[in-house]
Amino acid sequence: MAQDKIPSSVLFCCDHNSIRSPMAEGMMKKFYGRAAYVQSAGVRNDMEVDGFAIAVCDEIGVTIANHRSRSFDEMEDWGDDLSQFDLIVALSPASQRMALEMTRHAHLEVEYWPIMDPTGLAEGREARLAAYRQTRDQIETRMRARFGPPRTEAGGDPA
């Protein structure tokens, strides 16, 4: 069910803000340009952006190498109010629970997209890259279904 209306602000979240949510943030910015203010966060911030996530995003022209991982708590410390987002997309069960808890008094939409965590699923570089590509492709499929075709495909400027 494609919804062409893109919310004005979207927060993607996962466990560590090192794989799934930075991928989603980067893809949303690339595909839909400035149609929405987009950020990402994790339940915890205890990891840097994963090198395999950077590599598979580079394959589709999405740059996430400069992403700085942050947690929900850091977002609040830096003055970001979760209730100001129109939509929060949780990419893991733990981040869904945290988003629902932190926004329980706000009237905003929290969606859960069950996206596979590719860590530890394969041995060897090629097999690991394949798992990360599968995660990236799951995010892209959900994004297209939720927000419509990327605007960059129609020749629009993504920046």
Q: Tens digit of pLDDT for each residue in 25-73?
A: 999 999 999 889 999 999 998 778 999 999 999 999 999 999 989 998 8
Say if residue 2's pLDDT is above 60: no
Half-sphere exposure of 132 (CA within 13 A, CB side): 26
Both structure tokens of 110:
């929290």
Read off the tokens for 136. 């990236």
Q: Is the pLDDT of residue 80 over 60?
A: yes
9-147: which CATH architecture? Answer: 3-Layer(aba) Sandwich (3.40)
Residue 10 φ then ψ, to 5°: -135, 135
Q: Global pTM?
A: 0.89
Q: What are the domain boundaries of the chain?
A: 9-147
Is it the case that residue 118 has pLDDT exceeding 60?
yes
C-alpha dist (Å) from residue 18 to 1, 30, 74: 29, 18, 15
Q: What is the pLDDT of residues 142-157, one digit of tens each?
A: 999 999 999 864 444 4
As a whole number of angstroms, the distance between CA 55 and CA 68 comes to 16
